């Protein structure tokens, strides 16, 4: 298939992950996309000094109450490499993918700079992120996990239940009402995580600079922190266009 996409694609891939590289490269070529590989930072090669150079442990603990794993740090740094490349090349919009994804052909509809500009976002998550009542169930599971670590979190989360439930209902209705014939960008009034596939603008990289350097958050957390701290506009595509293949175990950002 030949694509008329004007958007460059950056694919994050570990040098040793040749099977994953072949998997994603076949899709890029079949879709006729303009792509470039970003060599991922390998957690196996990061020693203590390497971690210290990349990671602000003190600030990370302040926000997360736990340390990032070496693989999470390596994953975040890999995405940071993509941001640097986009900034250096002065690219208005770029698609960033991890190498274990499956791409739906409808993604091509989105990869047009004029269309993206009209959507008014800094980052557009195009993967199958959790939405609606699935979001509420996911949040509930996280609450239980956090409660096991820290019993005091239960009071805060009990207060949040009505809000989270209302947001989940709103999302369920919102996504049922969208036009199924075209893909639009939808704002969600809560944190949204989907680090394996997103379209990012050059403005987003400026807003995220102090968030991602030095590393304080996992790659999928950083946009949400920039949303709160730097006014980053984070939206999701009305239809998921990219999915995890399920054929590979995570070797960059395993938590």
Here the CATH number for the domain that contains residue 26 is: 3.90.550.50
Pairwise CA distance, residues 135 & 171, whole Å:
9
Tell me the residue length of the chain: 255
Contact between residue 99 and residue 23 where contact means Cβ atoms under 8 Å apart: yes
Q: How many structural domains is the chain composed of?
A: 2
Say whether both 197 and 237 belong to one domain: yes
Say whether both 167 and 53 belong to one domain: no
Say whether both 208 and 221 belong to one domain: yes
Residue at 254 is within a domain: no
Say whether both 21 and 85 belong to one domain: yes
Q: State how far the alpha carbon of 217 is from the alpha carbons of 107, 124, 241, 243, in Å.
A: 28, 19, 25, 23
Say whether both 146 and 96 belong to one domain: no
Contact between residue 227 and residue 123 where contact means Cβ atoms under 8 Å apart: no
Residue at 253 is within a domain: no
Residue 175: exposed, middle, or buried by beta-carbon count in 10 A (0-12, 13-18, 19+)? middle
Say whether both 49 and 110 belong to one domain: yes
Residue at 249 is within a domain: no
Say whether both 105 and 26 belong to one domain: yes
pLDDT in the model for residue 253: 43
Residue at 217 is within a domain: yes
Say whether both 90 and 113 belong to one domain: yes
pLDDT in the model for residue 254: 45
**Closest alpha carbon to 102 in 180, 24, 155, 25:** 24
**What is the chain's pLDDT, residue by residue, as a tens digit (255 residues)?**
445 567 999 999 999 999 999 999 999 999 999 999 999 999 999 999 999 999 999 999 988 888 999 999 999 999 999 999 999 999 999 999 999 999 999 999 899 999 999 999 999 999 988 888 998 999 899 889 888 877 888 888 899 999 999 999 998 998 888 877 889 999 988 888 889 999 999 999 999 998 999 999 999 999 999 999 999 999 999 999 999 887 777 664 444
Residue at 92 is within a domain: yes
Joined tokens for residue 22? 């072949």
pLDDT in the model for residue 146: 80
Say whether both 22 and 109 belong to one domain: yes
pLDDT in the model for residue 4: 58
Say whether both 65 and 150 belong to one domain: no
**Closest alpha carbon to 126 in 200, 177, 55:** 200
Say whether both 117 and 168 belong to one domain: no
Say whether both 35 and 97 belong to one domain: yes
Pairwise CA distance, residues 177 & 186, whole Å:
12
Domain boundaries, position 50: 8-128+192-244
pLDDT in the model for residue 251: 61
């Amino acid at each position: 298939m030949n694509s008329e996409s004007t958007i460059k694609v950056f694919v994050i891939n570990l040098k040793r992950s040749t099977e994953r590289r072949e998997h994603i490269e076949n899709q890029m070529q079949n879709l006729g996309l303009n792509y470039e590989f970003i060599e991922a930072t390998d957690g196996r090669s990061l020693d203590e000094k390497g971690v210290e150079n990349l990671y602000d442990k003190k600030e990370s603990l302040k926000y997360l109450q736990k340390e990032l794993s070496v693989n999470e740090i390596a994953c975040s740094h890999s995405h940071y490499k993509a941001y640097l490349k986009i900034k250096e090349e002065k690219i208005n919009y770029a698609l960033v993918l991890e190498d274990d994804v499956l791409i739906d052909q409808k993604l091509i509809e989105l990869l047009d700079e004029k269309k993206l500009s009209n959507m008014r976002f800094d980052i557009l998550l195009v993967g199958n992120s959790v939405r609606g009542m699935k979001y509420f169930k996911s949040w509930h599971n996280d609450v239980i996990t956090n409660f096991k670590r820290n019993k005091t979190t239960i009071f805060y989360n009990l207060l949040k239940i009505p809000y989270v439930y209302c947001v989940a209902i709103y999302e369920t209705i919102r996504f049922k009402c969208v036009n199924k014939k075209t893909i639009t960008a939808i704002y969600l009034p809560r944190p949204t995580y989907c680090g394996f596939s997103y379209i990012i603008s050059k403005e987003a990289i400026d807003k995220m600079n102090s968030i991602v350097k030095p590393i304080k958050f996992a790659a999928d957390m950083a946009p949400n922190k920039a949303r709160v701290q730097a006014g980053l506009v984070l939206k999701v595509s009305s239809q998921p266009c990219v999915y995890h293949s399920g054929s590979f175990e995570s070797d960059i950002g395993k938590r």
